[in-house]
Amino acid sequence: MARVRSNFKTSKPHFIRSWRKYRNLTLDQLAERLDVTAGTLSQLERGNTQYTQPMLEALADALNCEPSDLITRDPKSAVGIMMVWEQIPEGDRSKALEVLKAFASHPKAA
């Protein structure tokens, strides 16, 4: 009997690749930080293998985020700006808001 290959991925959804790219890291650079091969990391990013809790924690440490961020937050989404906002000290938030307002009101160059 012939074996049928399934195109269904068995891993859970995640944003590991998005976080790696957001941090401007290549597969090789992140793999080196984790002491794994780039191939292993590539398979994880493509959903060909599942992540484990220890791997998620190591990835989060290497990507300077929380493990939950890797499975719940796309760093390029609007939620990303809230993550930055939360890191700004309370006393500096009014200045940061003024900068954002200046960017928002600046006309786009054609």
Give the pLDDT confidence of 54-83 residue by residue, as tens digits: 999 999 999 999 999 999 988 887 666 777
- Per the CB < 8 A criterion, the answer to whether 22 and 15 are in contact is no
Asked if residue 15 belongs to a domain, the reply is: yes
How far does the chain reach from its first CA to its final CA, in angstroms? 62
User: Residue 104: what pLDDT?
Assistant: 82
- CA 97, distance to chain mean position in Å, is 25
Task: Name the stretches of the chain with pLDDT < 50.
Answer: 4-8
Shared domain check, 68 and 16? yes
Domain that holds residue 17: 11-73
Residue 7 CB neighbour total at 10 angstroms: 4
Q: Is residue 29 part of a domain?
A: yes
Residue 15 half-sphere exposure toward CB, CA atoms < 13 A: 20
What was the pLDDT predicted at 61? 97
pLDDT (0 to 100) of residue 6:
45
Q: Is 83 a member of any domain?
A: yes
For residue 86, what pLDDT is reported? Answer: 78
Tell me the residue length of the chain: 110
Would you state the pLDDT for residue 8? 47
